[in-house]
Amino acid sequence: MTAPADSPAETIDTLIVGGGMAGLAVAWNLLRRAPDRRVLLVEAEGRVGGNVRTVRHEGSVVDLGPDVLVARDAGTLEVCEALGVAMVRPSAAVRCVQVVRKGRISKMPEGLVLGVPRDFGALATTPLVSLRGKLRAACDLLMPPRSTDGLSLGQIVERRLGREVKDVLVEPLVAGMHGGDLDRLETDAVFPQLSGVGGSVIRALASTRGAQPPSLRAPGGGMQALVNALARALGDRVVRGRRTVALARQPDGFRASFADGGSVRARTVVVATPPPETAALLGPIAAELGDVLRQVVMRSSTSVVLGFGRGDVSLPEGSGLLVPRIEGAAFPSITFVHAKWPTRVRDDLAVVRAVVDPSRAPDVVTGDDDALIEAVLRELRRFVKLGEPRWAAIQRFPYASAVAEVGHRARVREARERAASLGGGGGGGALHLAGAAFDGPGIAGVLDGGKKLAEALTA
Ligand SMILES: Cc1cc2nc3c(=O)[nH]c(=O)nc-3n(C[C@H](O)[C@H](O)[C@H](O)COP(=O)(O)OP(=O)(O)OC[C@H]3O[C@@H](n4cnc5c(N)ncnc54)[C@H](O)[C@@H]3O)c2cc1C
């Protein structure tokens, strides 16, 4: 069924605003369960996918945005299977995690969970932590329990294991994944295994020994392949280049107005845009909801990817490096794309990716592209040997992700509840919020969230 692109007199069933992975996942799951629903997805840009950006250079397939799906169970991969998107695993090189410490590179000890040891022995021989740091970490096993109410993850880890383990082992892993400052991140959101743990964190994690690690997968053709498959399946229910500028309540739902002057009426609206955009759309009809959404902390980031001749680089073992914030670099990690995804890069090429975090180096990202490439190259050369790049690709993400600072889960819960209670002007219709800020932080979260929301909408 073709959904009306511009028919204010007609009311469709569901309008989805935002064509990132979240909006696409909601639409696809909805149509899978209820193929006759009149569903329309409107995306502001001329392309769908949002943060997903796969580019090709000299035959190499490179993701500038998300490059791996961290699936906790088979349900997450259901959509890929149903759409026939062939998934690949990263190479075994990802198991070798290397960390920079005072400019030197050493392997992350094995058996840690997000940098926190499950037994003290894991720390014993690593050169990454000093003897003093190790002795301090051992105090975790002796210190009495204390309440952790209101404490951030960084505060808990520092209290139990000391500053050095926090800065060198935990910070680079957690910050690389969640962004932001460890001392402000919410434990429940980023490290649920430590939620409510007031005593030894080493003992608390010991029980997770033997647990299956999440499976890492990605479409062989890069993350854009999944976006393209979703968009193909949705057909003309996806409208690109149509920015939603306002939502108004109607007796039986909502009316969405677009920047091009058109509008659509829908009984149910799912807003799958980053919280600041969602606040701009919903603030005028629900001031308190707008206020809550504006409190969600967002971060930006900039990907810089550089292509080299394989002979022009000398890189350590593994698929990249973690760079703790205390090293003073602009990025929390470096990925050797050719080592992580060998089938995507020609044998004679090496591809290096750094995702610059502006909170670490505000000056680096404000310059023009040439200055940015120069600055990133200079910083990369502090850690690895690189010749002159053959090509460079840059992508700036103004809304890279929401940062799960203390209170984040309560804020997004409140926003969702306020949205769900809004309804249309006459009580009909429903409004829902989707996206990585609510279900994320990653692709797996928004795929699972899209499925759950579609189930609720078709129940
Ligand atoms: C550099 C980087 C690396 C990452 N790496 C990983 C990774 O390896 N694995 C992982 O799982 N996750 C990763 N992530 C996170 C992942 O990208 C996000 O979880 C996911 O893409 C968010 O999808 P989304 O649909 O919620 O938001 P978005 O991708 O931001 O999509 C929102 C969409 O809404 C549209 N929109 C905004 N306003 C309007 C409007 N008014 N009207 C219509 N449309 C509008 C936007 O144009 C956009 O297309 C990474 C993110 C970045 C930036």
176 Cβ below 6 A of ligand 1: no
363 C-alpha to ligand 1 centroid (Å): 24
Is the pLDDT at 342 greater than 70? The verdict is: yes
d(CA 261, CA 192): 46
* Predicted confidence (pLDDT) per residue in 238-279, tens digit: 999 999 999 999 988 999 999 999 999 999 999 999 999 999
Q: How far apart are CA 264 and CA 244, in angstroms?
A: 10
Per-residue pLDDT for 11 more than 90?
no
pLDDT-derived band at 203 (thresholds 50, 70, 90) equals: very high
Class of the domain covering 110-206: mainly alpha
- Regarding the beta carbon of 355 and ligand 1, being less than 6 Å apart is answered yes
pLDDT, tens digit, 9 for 90 and up, residues 139-171? 999 999 999 998 999 999 999 999 999 999 999
Percent of the chain residues past pLDDT 90, beyond the cut:
83
Q: Which atom of ligand 1 is nearest to the CA of 281?
A: 41
Give me the mean pLDDT over the 389-397 stretch. 97
Counting atoms of ligand 1 from 1, which one is nearest the CA of 273?
34
- Cα separation, 240 vs 73, in Å, equals 32
Candidates 17, 51, 397: which one to mutate for ligand 1, based on the most atoms within 8 Å of Cβ? 51
Mean pLDDT value across residues 58-69: 95
Q: What is the pLDDT of residues 100-128, one digit of tens each?
A: 999 899 999 988 999 999 988 889 889 99
Each domain of the chain, given as residue ranges in start order, spans 11-50+221-297+405-458, 110-206, 299-402
Q: What is the pLDDT of residues 399-438, one digit of tens each?
A: 999 999 999 999 999 999 999 988 766 667 899 999 999 9
Residue owning the nearest CA to atom 6 of ligand 1: 66
User: What is the per-residue pLDDT for 3?
Assistant: 43
- Whole-number Å distance, alpha carbon 52 to ligand 1 midpoint, is 6
* Residue with CA nearest ligand 1 atom 14: 66
**333 Cβ below 6 A of ligand 1:** no
Q: Calculate how far, in angstroms, residue 302's C-alpha sits from the geometric centre of ligand 1.
A: 13
pLDDT at 204 over 70: yes
Architecture of the 299-402 domain: Alpha-Beta Complex (3.90)
**pLDDT mean across residues, the chain:** 93
User: What is the residue with the minimal CA distance to atom 2 of ligand 1?
Assistant: 65
Q: Find the 400 Cα to ligand 1 centroid distance in Å.
A: 7
This model's pTM is above 0.85: yes
Nearest residue (CA) to ligand 1, atom 5: 66
Ligand 1 centroid – CA 225 distance (Å): 15
The pLDDT tens digits for 212-232 are: 778 899 999 999 999 999 999
Query: Ligand 1 in contact with 45 (CB < 6 A)?
Result: yes
Q: Whose CA is nearest to atom 15 of ligand 1?
A: 442
Is the CB of residue 186 less than 8 Å from the CB of residue 15? no
Please state the separation of Cα 270 from the chain's center in Å: 20
CB of 162 closer than 6 angstroms to any ligand 1 atom: no
pLDDT at 275: 98
Q: Which residue's alpha carbon is nearest to atom 18 within ligand 1?
A: 442
Mutate to test the pocket of ligand 1, among 68, 273, 355 (most ligand atoms within 8 A of CB): 273
Inter-residue contact 258 to 18 (CB < 8 Å): no
CB–CB of 308/381 below 8 Å? no
Cα of 148 to ligand 1 centre, how many Å? 32
Say what the pLDDT of residue 6 is.
Answer: 54
Rounded Cα–Cα distance for residues 99 and 57 (Å): 28
pLDDT score for 394: 97
Candidates 3.90.1150.10, 3.50.50.60, 1.10.357.10, 3.40.50.300; CATH matching 11-50+221-297+405-458:
3.50.50.60
> What is the tens place of the pLDDT at every residue in 280-296?
999 999 999 999 999 99
**pLDDT number for residue 425:** 62
Cα 441 to middle of ligand 1, angstroms: 10
Q: Give 444 Cα–ligand 1 centroid separation in angstroms.
A: 12
> Which whole-number Å values give the CA distances from 382 to 310, 332, 335, in the listed order?
19, 14, 15
pLDDT in tens, 16-44: 999 999 999 999 999 999 999 999 999 99
